[in-house]
């Protein structure tokens, strides 16, 4: 069987460890995501969904437990290695303030490639351009992102998350503040990337209708996965 894209074993996370206000947010999460799996994450606010996503996204470290990305154990990696792994393996889409304000749509999409290579190359512009076209924003490639609507901005964010062709996409309520039509468009783009490129997706949402269109739904309640 193919190596899972992500696997968590007994991941726990506590904030303010050892202090009187210590809070246990994740209580032993076990989760495996196979290649090409589209998984919705649901659960009430404060249940630990975002913390879970930050840990899977290597933005935060678990207090204990094991996290493997692409079969690689991350516990012993240093900051530099984590950053590199994150850049190459994970695409992010956040709910708000996804993009760099002073840059055009094309530049925003190219940023991960540019940061990785250090220098700008022509093929980055071509790739960014193609990605923008695939999310239906070819016309807007040279517009400043502040001039785009919320739905368009989220589509730019989807294009950017695909820039490095990562095996895993993490979407933290990307449709949370979009109207139904835009939300549907963004969801379909993620679904398309998932189907065509075989990316695994963790999709946090409060929308049961969208969740229902995913391959699998996990419920996070009080820092545990239920069901």
Q: Is 102 in the site for another protein (CB under 8 A)?
A: yes
Residue 30 tokens, joined: 């076990």
As measured in angstroms, the least distance from the Cβ of 107 to another protein is 6
Q: Is 123 in the site for another protein (CB under 8 A)?
A: no
What is the SS3 assignment for 73? Answer: strand
Q: Judged by CB under 8 A, which of 111, 138, 148, 217 binds another protein?
A: 111
Q: Which class for 161: exposed (0-12), middle (13-18), buried (19 or more C-beta within 10 A)?
A: buried
Binding region for another protein (CB under 8 A) out of 34-42, 119-127, 181-189, 210-218: 119-127
Q: Is 196 in the site for another protein (CB under 8 A)?
A: no
State the Cα–Cα distance between residues 8 and 224, nearest whole angstrom: 12
As measured in angstroms, the least distance from the Cβ of 105 to another protein is 12
Query: In this structure, are residues 111 and 99 in contact, taking their beta carbons and an 8 Å threshold?
Result: no
Q: Is 116 in the site for another protein (CB under 8 A)?
A: yes
State the Cα–Cα distance between residues 34 and 2, nearest whole angstrom: 8
What's the chain's length in residues? 227
Q: Is 138 in the site for another protein (CB under 8 A)?
A: no
Q: Judged by CB under 8 A, which of 72, 84, 197, 216 binds another protein?
A: 84
Q: Judged by CB under 8 A, which of 14, 34, 59, 217 binds another protein?
A: 59
Binding region for another protein (CB under 8 A) out of 69-77, 121-129, 180-188, 198-206: 121-129
Q: Which of 138, 137, 202 is nearest to 169 (CA)?
A: 202
Q: How far is CA 93 from the centre of its chain?
A: 5
The DSSP line for 146-181 is: GGS-HHHHHHHHHHHHTTT--SEEEEESTTTTS-HH
As measured in angstroms, the least distance from the Cβ of 76 to another protein is 19
Residues of this chain that bind another protein (CB under 8 A): 54, 57, 59-60, 79-80, 83-84, 86-88, 92, 94, 97-103, 106-107, 110-112, 114-122, 125, 160, 164
């Amino acid at each position: 069987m193919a190596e899972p894209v992500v696997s968590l074993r007994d991941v726990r996370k506590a904030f303010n460890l050892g202090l009187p206000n210590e809070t246990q947010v994740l209580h032993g999460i076990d989760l495996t995501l196979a290649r090409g799996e589209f998984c919705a994450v649901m659960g009430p606010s404060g249940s630990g969904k975002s913390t879970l996503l930050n840990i899977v996204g290597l933005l935060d470290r678990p207090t204990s437990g094991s996290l493997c990305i692409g079969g690689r154990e991350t516990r012993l990696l240093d900051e530099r290695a984590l950053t590199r792994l994150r850049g190459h393996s994970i695409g992010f889409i956040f709910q708000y303030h996804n993009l760099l304000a002073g840059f055009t749509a094309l530049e925003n999409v190219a940023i991960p490639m540019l940061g990785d290579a250090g220098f700008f190359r022509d093929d980055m512009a071509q790739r960014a351009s193609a990605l923008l076209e695939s999310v239906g924003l070819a016309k807007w490639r040279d517009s400043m992102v502040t001039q785009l609507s919320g739905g368009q901005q989220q589509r730019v964010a989807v294009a950017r998350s695909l820039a490095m062709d990562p095996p895993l996409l993490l979407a933290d309520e990307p449709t949370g503040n979009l109207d139904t039509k835009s939300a549907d468009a963004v969801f379909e783009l993620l679904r398309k990337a998932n189907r065509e490129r075989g990316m695994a997706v963790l999709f946090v949402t409060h929308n049961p209708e969208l969740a229902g269109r995913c391959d699998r739904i996990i419920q996070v309640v009080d820092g545990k996965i239920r069901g």
